[in-house]
Amino acid sequence: MDSIVFQQVDFGLLMPLLENDDVTDISYSNGGQLWVKTLSKGVYQEHIEGLTNEVMEKLAFQCSNVMGKTFNMAHPLLDAESAELRLNFVHDSIATNGIAVLIRKTPAKIRLKKEKLVAEDYVSLKLHDFLIECVGGHCNILVSGETGSGKTELIKYLASHIKEDEKIITIEDTLELHLDKIYPTRDIVAMKTNNIASYSDVLVACMRQNPRWILLSEVRSAEAVMAVRNSISSGHNILSTIHSDKASSIPMRLYSLLESSQDIDQFVKGMHRYIQLGVHVKGFYSTKYNRFQREITQVVEFYVDDKANEAKVNIIYQRDLAGNETYNNPTEHLIDYLASQGVVMREDPFIPKEDTIKDTQGVNENKQAVASSIEVVNKEVVPSQSAPSNTQVTSNQNVVTNPQVTPSVNVTPSVNTQTNNLVNNAQANVKPAVNNGLEIMDI
């Protein structure tokens, strides 16, 4: 742990847990119960001899002094944070069974790696490449999930694939992303809201900085929802997280956070029009792998059907509780959007479309038509030494009578010649022959 803010704080018995990179959360409550959350094991109970309420109260007082705040019965809640730690204390005047403490580690590094994600069944290779391609195509993406599911870590990983020449501004109420420290040479501005500068104030300043990407650590208030809407409607791209039970419910979850009586249909359509993708992440203890498992369980595409003017959801990927996966190809809306951003994506990145060989089908149809035409000619035209004086062969349904032809004239060669012409015409141009029909009529 490397934190200038908390260098004066003595974490004492908790120090081994803080220095362990596998540990993400430390929870103390209920008169001495300590629970730890790790990347590999998930949540489990830990026992540390000598860790009592008095020790945790001493830690709270140290943090309050460092932060210049007060922690007592008059001010029973304390939040303290640094570059890599976020602490929350609840005084025993509120937590009646003893002081409650939560320590969350937010290290300034990218924990996720492509090889690790695929190997640990976090995401399939083709879905991983699809998401990275969408980031390169400037798609607006919101990641949903429960607390501790790894939403922020996924956002940091996706943000690591943003082009180096594109400016990034992060807006947070609690420091979690740390992209400015992870990439110290890039054009990144890290902004933090507080009691003086609200989301709206910070967003106005953000727009004047002319960013390509705006990253919100989490959308958890009406002010944050308005920041998202204003960002995407002004042409900027966003990456953010939100608490939701599934990716397809993200637009409705955004609406539920609003405190105004805005028209729901208009708002949802706006979100479907400007947010391209929703991704849902789930964290749970897997009996299959015998460890704590994080995985992407749903990826959806939002769009508005222009013909019906309806908000639509295309579930591109879904994984059920049994681990069964379902894929669907993106719609033409996403393909066209990526193309407008200079990214050419196949129309069938997940499910190959059935090969429809139109040329071959056309040739077969022509062959059948030619054969039918020849058969009709062979049946109707019977070679003979003579023909009626006033009979002519015609390729349409009009009957032509020539009274000048005498009965004694032999017209067999003429009939045969015209018959051959009909066959040749049928072979060379089937469609007119089939459409107009071939008739030989005796008059």
Which tens digit of pLDDT belongs to each residue from 349-371?
Answer: 999 976 434 444 554 555 565 55
CB 117 within 8 A of CB 124: no
CB 215 within 8 A of CB 169: yes
In the chain, list all ranges with CATH 3.30.450.370: 12-105
Sign, CA torsion 360/364/370/371: positive
Could you read off the pLDDT of 142-183 as tens digits, one per residue? Answer: 999 998 888 999 999 999 999 999 999 999 888 888 999 999
Could you read off the pLDDT of 23-47 as tens digits, one per residue? Answer: 999 999 998 999 999 888 888 999 9
- Name the β-bridge partners of 133: none
- The pLDDT assigned to 411 comes to 42
In the chain, list all ranges with CATH 3.40.50.300: 114-340
Residue 410: pLDDT over 80: no
The pTM (predicted TM-score) of the whole model is 0.74
- The pLDDT assigned to 197 comes to 87
Sign, CA torsion 261/265/266/269: positive
Task: Report the topology of domain 12-105.
Answer: Beta-Lactamase (3.30.450)
Residues 27, 289: Cα–Cα separation, whole Å: 25
- Name the β-bridge partners of 25: 37, 104
- What are the tokens at 37? 């959350």
- The pLDDT assigned to 330 comes to 97
The number of angstroms, rounded, from the C-alpha of 129 to the middle of its chain's C-alpha atoms is 11
More confident residue, 223 or 137: 137
Residues 27, 43: Cα–Cα separation, whole Å: 10
Put the strands of the sheet holding 277-286 in their side by side order. Answer: 188-192, 168-172, 213-219, 237-242, 141-145, 277-286, 291-305, 310-319, 325-327
- The pLDDT assigned to 207 comes to 87
Average pLDDT, the chain: 82
> 114-340: what CATH class?
alpha beta
What are residue 49's phi and psi, to 5 degrees? -65, 130
- The pLDDT assigned to 360 comes to 45
Could you read off the pLDDT of 96-119 as tens digits, one per residue? Answer: 999 999 999 988 889 899 999 999
